Amino acid sequence: MDTVSQLYPEYYILKVNGFNQIAKSPLEEWIYYLNTGEIPSSATVLELEEARERLKLDSMTKDELVAYYRHLDNIVILHDNIYTEREEGRAEGREEANWDNARNLKKTGSSY
């Protein structure tokens, strides 16, 4: 990479004083957010949706955050339990099918 560009990066200054508060493009949605600190519900930029979720977390109290993360942990544990039970059920079903096959072969007198 060019060493001069590493020493002197490009900076862009956005002047938002003349912004009329009506966002018509993704850039204007960002300008609206940076100017007001609010994200309108009509925002279409995906990154603003992520920012909205982050703002929700930032506005929570410490106790609310603890409860929220405990809830997320419980969801992960629940999904893991469901996955584990499903796999155990499948293994149990295969084993039962093998026994059924063995009984049927025995009834028919097959030597397999």
Q: pLDDT digits over 9-45, tens only?
A: 777 776 666 656 665 677 778 877 877 878 877 888 8
- What pLDDT score was predicted for residue 10? 75
78 C-beta neighbours (distance < 10 Å), count? 10
Q: pLDDT digits over 41-61, tens only?
A: 788 887 888 888 888 888 889
> For residue 23, what are its two tokens?
């966002």
With 60 as the cut, is the pLDDT of residue 1 above it? no
Angle among Cα 70, 79, 73 to the nearest 5 degrees reads: 10
Distance in angstroms (rounded) separating the CA atoms of residues 68 and 50: 17
Local confidence band at 83 (pLDDT 50, 70, 90 cut-offs): confident
Q: How many residues does the chain have?
A: 112
Residue 32, CB-side half-sphere exposure with 13 Å CA sphere: 19
Local confidence band at 62 (pLDDT 50, 70, 90 cut-offs): very high
Tell me the backbone φ, ψ of residue 26, rounded to 5 degrees: -55, -40
Distance in angstroms (rounded) separating the CA atoms of residues 49 and 59: 15
Tell me the backbone φ, ψ of residue 41, rounded to 5 degrees: -65, -20
The share of the chain scoring above pLDDT 90, in percent, equals 18
